[in-house]
Amino acid sequence: MPDNDILDRLIHTSVRTDDDVIDLVTALVERPITRQCWVLFLDERAVPVSFVMPISDLPWQPDEHVEDLAALAADIVQQVAAAEVVLVWERPGESRLFPVDWEWVDACACTFDEHGVRIRAQVAVHTGGIAIVSLDDVDDVEDVNDLRDVDEADDADDADDPDPGALALAS
């Protein structure tokens, strides 16, 4: 459960540095529970807008849903007077990124840009911690099928999870 005092302080503080982004994400998500993407909105002063959009039903790999996600984010950016967004990829399990993770990071970077939505940062929340990810960080990644095998085993272990089949890509 997020620390409400810290979260209250953070939602009134500008998110100017990467450390500020990490602090905000840490206060909101804390630890990975399920595969999903969070969209956080920042206003023109980089202060978080009081609207957070979790999405837990994205397909395994980016497809036409990336376009839908970007269009929805663009609409919300306009409605809540946001200037930029932070994409948070929540994924329990492995602490490294896999090819499919990079596909999502890249697809969102391109598609959000096409919709005029500025991404402040993309952040991975996984068992190993929380970190900002950038396409510049792509180096040694494993095969997508290796991750699917791990996730299928995790899904079997998470039978009590209310949405064990959710495949919202995370990092």
Sheet with 84-90, strands from edge to edge, namely: 48-55, 36-42, 84-90, 119-126, 129-133
- Neighbouring C-beta atoms of residue 99, cutoff 10 Å: 15
The reported pLDDT for the residue numbered 149 is 42
Please tell me the pTM assigned to this model.
0.76
The reported pLDDT for the residue numbered 7 is 65
The reported pLDDT for the residue numbered 67 is 95
Tokens standing for residue 110: 């391109």
The string of DSSP letters for 127-141 reads TTEEEEE-GGG--S-
First-last CA distance in the chain: 21
The reported pLDDT for the residue numbered 2 is 56
The reported pLDDT for the residue numbered 96 is 74
Max CA distance (Å), the chain = 44
- Averaged over successive runs of 10 residues, the pLDDT of the chain (171 residues) comes to 64 90 90 91 95 90 92 97 96 80 94 97 92 72 40 43 31 34
